[in-house]
Structure 1
Amino acid sequence: MEEQNQSATEITPEKAAERLKETDKEFIKLFGHGSLEVEYYKPDKADKQQPHERDEIYVVISGSGFFVNGDQRHPFEAGQVLLVPAGVVHRFEDFTEDFATWVFFYGPKGGEKG
């Protein structure tokens, strides 16, 4: 399938990065379905995000660094999956210039229980 014929439910990291460059933001919403929202996130030097109202999963596309999730801080690298419950303070620190990640928000405001 040629790229210009891609459906709205699939995208490559390269295409997401191109779409992000067309904005003045560090993230771009790509698509959603039901409670699911898929974004591409590439912060510039510092991660300034605040806790979110919904649960989220990061799938690291490229780069490495440290991930703060609540009171824990761990190294991360490309290919890792990171879960953050709704309302928890989190951020990426000391990350490489090539860092980029998929972000998946899901569930109700306040997060899923159980």
Structure 2
Amino acid sequence: MKEFRLEELEAERLAHDGAYLQFLRERHMSVGLYAINRGTADPQQPHKQDEVYFVVSGRGAITVGNEATAVARGSVVYVPAGTPHRFHHITEDLRVMVVFAPPEG
């Protein structure tokens, strides 16, 4: 079993001075914590993997392909591999758990 605490993951992400921290990598998936602060642009490009986003905290919007929706704590969004997507209109710092399948790069 592997167990993680959000506070510890956020501290580790900050210590490495990055927006993304991959904290689990297995044969068929990887999981990370993604941080996008209010007023910051999301520089993502389409990924080769399917993704599931789970919003842990914050508030904003996401566009996937041609569809946009508001997101906040508890939102879950699926993004098919190769689909353009980005978070935007971030009004509260977002912390998002990201699951990639298969594992990211």
Q: Who is 1:29 aligned against?
A: 22
- Structure 1, unaligned stretches of length 5 or more? 1-6, 110-114
Paired residue type of 2:28: S
Larger radius of gyration: 1
8 Å Cα contact 2:52-2:78 kept in structure 1: yes
Q: Percent identity?
A: 33
Q: Who is 1:75 aligned against?
A: 70
- Structure 2, unaligned stretches of length 5 or more? none
Within the candidate set 34, 40, 50, 2:33 is matched to: 40
Provide TM-score, normalisation by structure 1: 0.82
Q: Which consecutive segments of 4 or more residues in structure 1 shift more than 4 A? A: none
Q: Who is 1:3 aligned against?
A: none
CA RMSD of aligned residues (A): 1.7
Name the CA distance, whole Å, in 1 between partners of 2:7 and 2:54.
15
Greater RCO, CA 8 A, separation 6+: 2
8 Å Cα contact 2:49-2:81 kept in structure 1: yes
